[in-house]
Structure 1
Amino acid sequence: MTDPVMRLKDLTLSLDGNAGVVEILKGISMEVSAGETLGLTGASGSGKSSLLMVMGGLERATSGLVSVLGQDLTPMGEDGLARFRRDHMGVVFQSFHLIPTMTALENVALPLELAGAEDAFARAEAELAAVGLASRGGHYPSQMSGGEQQRVALARAVVGRPQILLADEPTGNLDAATGEMVMDLLFDLRDRHGATLILVTHAPELAARCDRVVQLRDGQIISDSLAMAAQ
């Protein structure tokens, strides 16, 4: 049995709000295996996106253990976390987060350039082709549809060949048909790169495509089970 790629133990997250301290996550403990596709579900405000952000070191836990690929993220500084994400993770957000002054090709190549890769643009071209946007590399985000922008974001997330892919409602801003196409691409990219995929979603049909589904309510895990498609 291989070691888990991610291990959370007694994880809590509290944030200061207008009415005082708000407990977002309350004693989360779970493990994620290599190559697993995990869906995080729950109503708005259940804590699923916050949990994903903690998993990716984008939000710092208040207490508890966050171990990713054997590395404890808790004591790491912002620069260390940024380097760790760059080297090991790909992140896809609902709102794309492309840099508007960069072309699609430049957006995809950026993580590799920051890592000092000499073949950054060649690899970026290959990933744009993999998401069907080989002819759009010279276009800026404002010249692209929402679906195209999300496909660029997918290419950017996987161009570094990450071991872990994190996706936060990646189809939330897209129509149904475009969203389905983007999700097919995300699963295809996951398969091609052999990455572990952790996905936040409201959509039952999307959760059913995952190997395992963890449901949250009020910052706590209320169920952890194999998805129907995996059973």
Structure 2
Amino acid sequence: MSDTVLALKDVTLRLRGNAGMVEILHDITLDVAQGETLSLVGPSGSGKSSLLMIMGGLERATSGSVLSLGQDLTALNEDGLARFRRDNMGVVFQSFHLIPTMTALENVATPLELAGHADAFDRAEAELEAVGLAHRAGHYPAQMSGGEQQRVALARAAAPRPKLLLADEPTGNLDGENGQAIIDLLFGLRDRHGATLVLVTHANSLAQKCDRMIRLTDGRIADQQLRAAE
């Protein structure tokens, strides 16, 4: 049996809204195996992005436990969570979050430099080449298309060789052709680096490409579906 890289038990999330406390997630228990690809689906407001953020330590669970690679994320302070993400996770957002004053190469190299890698720029160049953007290394985000910016964001997430890759609507702002390119790259990362991939998506074709699909409704796991054998 594969090692478990993520283990959530009885996870609840409550956030304060205009009308008082709102329960976003209700008693979520979920294990994710090493090398697995997992999609989180459901209608808007079902809690899937919140669940992904809790998996990445970007949001704190109100109650329950969150173990990532054996580390209890609920026991870490903000600095500890930042270091843990730096060393173990890659996160890809729908809105790219590139630094506008940095070139593509500098954007990809920055997390490597922060982690103390002496070969940061060599590794950044290799990742840009892997996503087909070696020729764009010296360009700034504003000089690139949306699809190119998302590929830079993916290269940046992949460059530290993360054990766990989290993606929130990675194809949401892209047209069909660029979206398919990002899908191929995401799954290629699993093959190249052995990363475990968890993604939030509204795209049914992407969700069904994963080993397992979790459907959320009103902050609860409604059902799970394994990919059909090919």
- Both proteins in one fold, TM over 0.5: yes
- SS class of match (2:75): coil
Deviations 1:17-60 (A, max 9, x none): 00110100000001000000000000000000000000000001
State the one-letter code of the partner of 2:193: H
CA–CA distance in structure 2, aligned partners of residues 203 and 70 of structure 1: 31
Aligned partners of 2:153 and 2:28: how far apart in 1? 29
2:45 is the alignment partner of 1:45: yes
SS in 2 for 1:30: strand
Counting only pairs closer than 5 Å after superposition, residues 138-153 of structure 1 correspond to structure 2 as 138-153=138-153
Q: Deviations over 1:136-191 (max 9, x none)?
A: 11100000000000000000001000000000000000111111111111111221
List 4+ stretches of structure 1 deviating above 4 A. none
Instruction: Give the corresponding residue for 2:97.
Output: 97
Cα deviations by residue, 1:172-219 (Å, 9 ceiling, x for unpaired) = 001111111111111112211110000101111111100000000000
Residue type of the alignment partner of 1:218: D
Question: Bigger CA drift: 177-186 or 22-31?
Answer: 177-186
Which sits farther off after the overlay, 96-105 or 185-194? 185-194
Change (3 A) 1:3 1:194: closer
Distance in 2 of aligned mates of 1:24 and 1:227: 27
The number of residues matched between the two structures is 230
User: Which residue in 1 is equivalent to 2:156?
Assistant: 156
Secondary structure at 2:50 match in 1: helix
Secondary structure of 1:105 counterpart = helix
Task: Name the CA distance, whole Å, in 1 between partners of 2:26 and 2:91.
Answer: 24
In structure 1, the residue corresponding to 2:43 is in which secondary structure? coil
Gaps of 5+ in 2: none
Q: Secondary structure at the match of 1:225?
A: strand
Within 5 Å, give how 1:1-231 maps onto structure 2.
1-228=1-228, 230=229
Q: Percent identity?
A: 72
CA RMSD of aligned residues (A): 0.9
Change (3 A) 1:64 1:212: same
Task: Give the deviation of 1:11 after TM superposition.
Answer: 0.0
Instruction: Letter of the 1:138 partner, please give it.
Output: G
Q: Which amino acid aligns with 1:77?
A: N
Q: Which moved more, 1:92-101 or 1:177-186?
A: 177-186
- Counterpart Cα distance in 2 of 1:3 and 1:170: 26
Q: Distance in 1 between matches of 2:50 and 2:171?
A: 18
What is the TM-score with the length of structure 2 in the denominator? Answer: 0.98
